[in-house]
Amino acid sequence: MIKAIGALLLRAAVVLLGTAILTFALLWNAPGDPAQTIAMARFDALLTDDVIDQIRDEVGLNTNFWHAFRAWLGPLLRFDFGYSAVTGRPVWPDLWTAMTYTFPLALAGLASGLALSLPLAILATKRPGGLLDRTSVAIASLGAAIPAYWLGLLLILLLAVQLGWLPAMGARTPAHAILPAVTLGLGVAASLTRIIRSGILEARGQPFLPAIRRRGVDGRAVARDHIAPHAAIPVVTVFGLELAFLLEGAVLIEVIFGRPGLGTFLVQAILSRDFPHVQAVVVLTALVFVVVNLAIDIIYRAIDPRIGTEDA
């Protein structure tokens, strides 16, 4: 077990290094001057050409990619994201503010997704193949095909514009978070319903269950002690996939609802070619992603020790 976790940690470290290389390669090859980017990230905005030339020499931009990469990586390892190339303000406080909007939204999305999918999946599995089951599968398929941003627009159109029940744009009050969270939740619910449904069906198909029932254990106890843990395993693994969906969804949904957050932060940064901001978001999402997936791998192994180390 210790050895397996060690291997997972090593792998995560390698992947993180890879993400750093990829990110830097992207900035290196993007149209624009990387020396200026690094200068902006390190110091204040509005530098003279002399200073930029000096950085170019110092960082080794004239020499090669790997020199420059090491110079770039150093501050990042100390969680120093530098300064915005546009406003000249430090990146970290603004990034943190954006995160305080996005992560709660993602969690609310996940929560409402679970709140929708769990009852739907349980209802569907009451009679597998029945009308309810087929309807829920159809809803889930439809849900997976609807782009999150279009769904958001439709909800705005219906609930904010036509009915006027909820505010749509901005993030001034908690009520402003309802529509974005529900939009995100509906998208998550589509895939979660399928996964929980097949998880329950698979767990129910366990050969030992009829024997347990015959011994007179009541249905609710069987569901709690034997079916739920089995159905939980795919849910845990899928959380890693949903995380990607939540982050992607959040990016688009923030733009639609005019909410501050990582998505608006990123899109703004790209449009204004604010490289320090872009690289901060990219590095941060990759970090979150790798850490969460690492945690999932470890949890998964704890639930089911049969899983080997060589499943790359």
Partner 1 sequence: MRSVLFVVIGLVALAVLGPLLAPYDPTAIDIPNRLSAPSARFPLGTDALGRDILSRLLYGARWSLGLAFLISVLSLLIGTSIGLIAALGGKSADWLLMRATDTFLAFPELVAAVVIAGLMGAGTWSLIFALSVTGWMRYARVARGIGLSVQNQGYVVQARLAGMPGWSIARWHFLPSLIPSLTVVWTGMFARAILGISALGFLGFGVQPPNPEWGAMLLDARVHMRSTPLQMIWPGMAVVTCVLTINLAGDALRDALAKQSSHE
Residues at the site binding partner 1, with contacts judged by CB under 8 A: 11, 14-16, 18-19, 21-22, 26-27, 30-31, 141-142, 144-147, 149-150, 153-154, 156-157, 161, 243-244, 247-248, 251-252, 255-256, 266-267, 270-271, 273, 278, 281-282, 285-286, 289-290, 293, 312
Least distance CB 116 / partner 1 (angstroms)? 19
* 179, amino acid identity: L
- The C-alpha torsion from 13 through 14 and 20 to 24, rounded to 10°, is 160
Give CA–CA dist 13/8, Å, rounded: 9
Residue 77 C-beta: closest distance to partner 1, Å: 17
CB of 271 to partner 1, least distance (A): 7
Nearest CB to partner 1, comparing residues 221 and 270: 270
In terms of CB distance, is 144 or 307 closer to partner 1? 144
Separation of alpha carbons 136 and 190, rounded Å: 9
| Whether the Cβ atoms of residue 186 and residue 143 lie closer than 8 Å to each other | yes
**Minimal distance, residue 249 CB to partner 1, in Å:** 9
CA 267, 268, 272, 278 torsion: positive or negative? negative
| Complex with partner 1: residue 58 or 150, whichever CB lies closer | 150
C-beta of 41 vs 252, nearer to partner 1:
252
Report in angstroms how near the CB of residue 239 gets to partner 1 at its nearest. 14
Cα distances from 154 to residues 110, 162, 172, 198, 209, in angstroms, run: 20, 10, 21, 30, 45
Based on CB atoms, which residue is closest to partner 1, 14 or 302? Answer: 14
Q: Measuring CA to CA, how many Å separate 257 from each of 30, 147, 208, 216, 253?
A: 29, 15, 50, 54, 6
Give the pair of three-digit tokens for residue 151. 């769904």
* 286 Cβ contact partners less than 8 Å away, ≥ 6 residues apart: 16, 19, 23
Determine contact, residues 225/156, Cβ cutoff 8 Å: no
83: DSSP letter: B
Closer by beta carbon to partner 1, 16 or else 299:
16
* Min dist. Cβ of residue 147 to partner 1 (A): 5
Choose between 22 and 115: whose C-beta lies nearer to partner 1.
Answer: 22
* 153 or 223: CB nearest partner 1: 153
Give the shortest CB-283-to-partner 1 separation in angstroms: 10
Least separation in angstroms between residue 37's CB and partner 1 is 11
Give the angle subtended at the CA of 304 by the CAs of 303 and 308, to the nearest 5°.
130
For the bound state, the minimum distance from the C-beta of residue 215 to partner 1, rounded and expressed in Å, comes to 31
Residues 6+ apart with CB under 8 A from 226: 203, 206, 208, 209, 212
In angstroms, rounded to a whole number, what is the distance separating the alpha carbons of residues 124 and 104? Answer: 30
Name which of 79, 77, 71, 92 is nearest 27 in CA terms: 71
Of 63 and 141, which CB lies nearer to partner 1 in the complex structure? 141
